[in-house]
Amino acid sequence: MSELIHDPMILRQIIMDHYEYPRNHELSDEEGYVSKHMASASCIDDIYVQAKLKDDVIEDIRFDGVACTISTASTSIMSELLQGKTTSEARKIIDAYYAMINNEPYDDELLQEAIAFHTVGKQANRIKCATIGWEAMKQIIEDGEAHE
Catalog residues that contact other proteins under the rule CB under 8 A: 8, 11-12, 15-16, 43-45, 66-70, 117, 119-120, 122-123, 125-126, 129
Minimal distance, residue 57 CB to other proteins, in Å: 33
Cβ contacts of residue 136 below 8 Å, gap of 6+? 36, 38, 47, 49, 63, 75
Nearest residue (CB) to other proteins, 88 versus 102: 102
Minimal distance, residue 39 CB to other proteins, in Å: 11
Minimal distance, residue 119 CB to other proteins, in Å: 6
Asked if residues 115 and 81 have their Cβ atoms less than 8 Å apart, the reply is: no
Asked if residues 113 and 81 have their Cβ atoms less than 8 Å apart, the reply is: yes
DSSP run (H or E) holding 65: strand 57-66
Q: What's the distance, CA 126 to chain centroid?
A: 14
Nearest residue (CB) to other proteins, 102 versus 123: 123
Nearest residue (CB) to other proteins, 51 versus 77: 77
